[in-house]
Structure 1
Amino acid sequence: MTVRMRAMLLVIILMLSLSAIFLFAGNYFNEKYLDYSFRRFDSQLARSFGLSVSETERKYFNAAHALLQRDKVLSAFLAGDREKLFLELVPLYREMTREDPFFHVMHFIDKNGVTVLRMHRPDFHGDNLTDVRPLVRLMNRTRERLSGFEPGRHGIYYRVMIPIFSGGEYEGMLDLGLNADFVIEAVSKHFQFKSALFLNKSYAGVINNREEMIGAGNYYITGTDDPVFLTLGTDFTPGREMLLKKIDGAYYSFHTAYELREYDDAPFAYLVVVQNIDAEVQDYRNARFYLVLVVFAFLILAAAILHYSFRVMLREIEEGKKTLSAQQRTDTLTGLPNRNALLSDLEWASGSVMILINIDRFKEVNEVFGIGAGDQVLKEYSVCLREYISSFESINPEITGEHTLYRLGRDEFVILLNTKTELAEKIADYISNRTDSEIIDYQGIEISISVSIGISGNREKPLQSSDIALKISRERKRAYMHFDESMELSQHQSNNFFWLNKVKQAIKEDRIVPYFQGIMDNRTGEIRKYECLIRMLEADGSVVSPGMFLPIIKKTKLYPQLTKIMLRKSVEHFNGGGKEFSINISTEDILNKDIVHYIQNLLKETCTARNVIFEILETDNIGNYEEIREFISEVKSLGCKVAIDDFGTGYSNFTHLMNLDFDYLKIDGSLIQNIHRDEYTNRLVKSIAGFAGGMKIETVAEFVSSQEIFDAVNELGIDYSQGFFIAKPRPDTKPDDFT
């Protein structure tokens, strides 16, 4: 079989496969759309039902409150005068039943759960409902207004109940009830669909006429006698997936529109809606038919086009393969072999030496002179590198073997040499010196450049090892570095050593300083306190954020030195003043006896204890309660106060508050930042503030960064605010202007 025949067969198989996939996908998405339509219908049903129940609840809560606003009604109930109460309510009850045919129950019950008056059965009274009616028991326990569905002697009713108080004392309750069929009426009114209530048989024991109900599996069907529902049997289980069923030649979909739940949130009945979907089924069938026609037409058209253009396509493929192969190995800007070519060549280049060259501060060339200047530098420098290598060969005849120049991308070049390491170092030194004197002209602008160079003879990881050598040559300001095993420290370790050395030098040169951030009293609008925050100054006076070095130093023996410096400088700054100031202290500091002794001596020497607040991080491991409690007790005996910091980020927050004697609670900024736009966060912060207030602990909101957040903080009754909107950290304690 010829190549063309094999290709034709392959394409035909591919087209048939694509057609099958297209048919499958079209059918799949058609079914998904149908399913989406049904789910959207379910959602609309649930929303409509929910609105209907909410409107009914609001209407009858208002009606119940209006009834109890009538002095004669309330006084008659409190006096136990059933006859007077009945006469007062008769016109109101009649008006409400005329207005709403589903309204039936108006029921007054005393605080012991005993019926005082049923307007729907005035002669039946004196019965105790505590053991019969769960909502009555719940009302007597909570004494708050309630609503919900409840099965009763005469069927399922929706109950709205409010407590009756007199002189602050609980006296009983008012119960208004509607037949649950009102939800069926709501569905019929809004959607013109058939609906019914499915009552779980296990909840039907209290209903008097359950023998007359229609059974369907584990449920009784109420509120309808439509034959569509009577055919269900055990085929449909409410609360689960929608059911599609063909009945008497027509297609129907059965949907659970809403769950009717008891007071304890357990579903006991379901509102089920049935929809005729003959039109949807016919649309689905039509879509499948047209889909098959489209696929068939596509196959015929594709076969004709393929037959006509196959030869041209094969020729273009062959030409494209050749072009693509060249493009994949060539850098388009400089014309040099690229990274792909280098990686391919490394597979067979044994015993080669790699020289990695990186243009220093190339990013600045792009930023100052533009991308065009950067491209010009790369093109001209690639020409320069060729000339440097050629010139070096002419003056060093001992060089033998092949060499290749590559551009890796951005500002990096590689020379792969089949020569000795000593000669590679000479070449690198020569390239560095020649580059330093090179001037590249761009539109009349003279641009000078320099390079960093790394050399590696490592056979396993030549690129990685030469890159390590290059970075070290740049750090040490050397023309080049040759890789050896001692350089293989991880970047993480190098970073740790870097900051460790910087902090050591900063301590030696007294460049560890406190900055002070004002804390506003929300009740007076004044800056009443300051938090002392650690900063490190560079030799030129620039400020280094603690996030850069503190996490690393915390794991070293330098950390206690930083703690002592912050304690001493903060106390010295505020000594003799009247402002309170807080200092962060970790559990590691508290467990360090030397630090604790230092704190005690410092406070006694300076007499500043009454103004000091120690902030203990909530995110630290506050598990050593005895040691923490002992520390708090000691500093409080000296006159200090204690705060728990970053509250809300840990796991045992409220346990900390109950076990340790804190004066202030600082709510974590991750919560405060969202209180003005996230209702859940707002409620969480409100509960924290309320809990703290109940324990006589003052609260501080951190990260108050805008007017909206500040307003929300004040609305929640938080005592203090801290953040950039109030005051930024600064090296003095002069408060920022605040409007």
Structure 2
Amino acid sequence: MPSTILIKHLQRSLTFVCAILISFIISKAFVIEPEHFPTISIVSSVMAVSFICYGNRALVGIISGLFLHYYFAGKEIGVTLLFSLILPSLPYVFALLFNTISKRFNDYPISKKIGLYFIIFCCCFPISNSLLLLWVRFIGDQIAPSMDFLSYSVLGSFLTQSLISPVLIFAVSQFNEKSLKEYKTLDRDMRNSSDNDKSYKIWLLTCTLLMLIAVTQPDPLLLNSLCFFLLVLIIVGFGKHGFIRPLIMAAVVILMMVFDSVTRVNLSQNIDANFYGLFVVLSVITALAYLLASHNIKNYELTQKQILNERIDPYTGLYNITQLKDDLSHIRTSVLIYLDITPTLTTVSDIGHAGRSHLIQQLSLYLSARDQGMSNFYRPPFNTGLLSFIPLSHDIKDELKYLARYLKKFQFFWEGSSITLVDPTLHCAKISNDNDIEMAVSILCEQPPLVSVSTNWVDVQPTPIYKICKLSFIQGVFKNNHFELHCQPYLNLSDKTAKSHSFEVLLRIKSETGEQIPPAEFFPLINQFSLETKLDSWVVKNTFKMLDLMVDDWGKIEKCAINLTAKSLGLPSLAHSIILSANKHNIPLSRICFEITESSALQNEQQAIDTLNILREAGSKIALDDFGTGYASFAYLRTLPLDVLKIDGSFIKELPTNETDRLIVSSIATIAKEMKLETVAEFVETQEHVEILEPLGITYGQGYGIAKPRPLADYLAELKNSEYETLKAS
């Protein structure tokens, strides 16, 4: 173990030695030969970055690298040792100062940390470093440095620490994922906030092309003009396109300009005023760029802080759904989790709003402490519970099982007492970043409380109904007449030779894509928005209209069954409007049978009885649908004026194998016969069903074994042009 640690230290020290030696080689490209001074000191930058990132661990390697360079450069051993110890001292002290202050102000915004770096390394360090170099040069060469040397030293050191050192810091951070994570995240978020990938690509391409053009220019005036234009373009990109990429590009452009100027000075062996002026201008531009970048970052941070405050629930401290959408936008696939705590709150309803908030807070802290990918928690709108997400993985089911077990250990402490969660269920859904997150959350939150179910997987893929507002959808169906009339024929089991036909009118909806939406999806919306009476009116009116248009011989029709809801039967005007519509379309009401859905309670029973009596007196028949499953099956037999009983399909489905169902159906058939009522058996799926029902005295059979639902217009056209035997065979 000690030998491994020693090898690791030696490898690290060797890396720093190589970095120092390479930086001396690169720095030669920026040395002013008349002054024997590097305008851009890559060595100084490497030392500063090494001490900032690695602290004391870099000291041995840096000193060793300096010693080797000066020793092989022909310096005396004493001078070599002096240079090797003195030169790293200032970067080390300033790096130590910067790291100490940064740790103390760790929670400060990044804009202030950048300001701190600018003050310490871009302002104070260049002056201190220049004074140290003056002294070292005087000690080494015994020559008093000129004021020009001092000026170039300060400006060169300023440019070095302003541009080269930050670029090297970000380069070093690429080898450590956690290093400078907040800076990288801020850079990414600033680029993403502009939400214009095209403009970023154009900006990047333009800058790259201009740099390539500038590099090939032999004319210094043209090169500097292109570079100054480039700097303006790059500075404009600060903030809008992040700050790391603009910083790197600005460093490259300024190095190009300095290298070109140093090359021309060395060729002419003359330092003119233009050279010094260029350094001053570049330093001013760099300082302004820092100010602009800090200002943009500060504004972005303030905006994000304000947005964050708006996205946090003040009572529970949880994020809202908008923050959830932002967080999920960066993840390709994940599992959205909703924990409904309604069952728990129902049992402790006296804890009040404060207690509910504390429960949510304690629960989120408890889950956060688990540290298994659930870092943030969100408050769903209009629901009591917690939302979170975890990345999708191959062992996601095992992870959710562990999470469910972990939840069972949770204790909610309130006013000296503690309780566990009541029936906690994790409602989970697989989602991708292109899903409609609001819709997915809505579907998850609509899940009913489940007993003894720890994990409930939910399909949140939107059906055609969920693609738009529910109310808007169903209103649009009425407005645009998207309903379609279908029917399902009966089979007369009591008289196989009957020439007339019976059928039930059904309803379907076509979505905008042309797909048919099943009743199970749109009927709940009809009930939810109290549109039952409007729907019944539409069905009666359009059925009568189609019958008038397509039926020439009413002798072929024995019974056309139309459903009426309990709410419609409570309207005093219903019977009158039906009779009026029948007269208008020449419909013999003796051929119409109105079905009452027995699974819904009659809201105004006396009015319903009056309405049914009027319709019956007008010639209609009345059927009680879903008999045997509703609120008051046998009570309705006593009170309602009925002609037909429709036996619920739940008693018919398993008739061939279930003796109990057979006894129930036989009993209903006997009661109906005694009351002189006809019977219809639903869910007749096979010929075996037919063979069982016939001896029991059931009048009609209805189901897929008899005939599948079909468009009413097609059936009436077929009925108009065909004989009974043809229809029966179909």
- TM-score, with structure 2 as normaliser: 0.38
Pick 1 or 2: higher relative contact order, CA cutoff 8 A, min separation 6. 2
- TM-score, with structure 1 as normaliser: 0.37
Between Structure 1 and Structure 2, which shows a larger proportion of strand residues?
1
Between Structure 1 and Structure 2, which shows a larger proportion of helix residues?
2
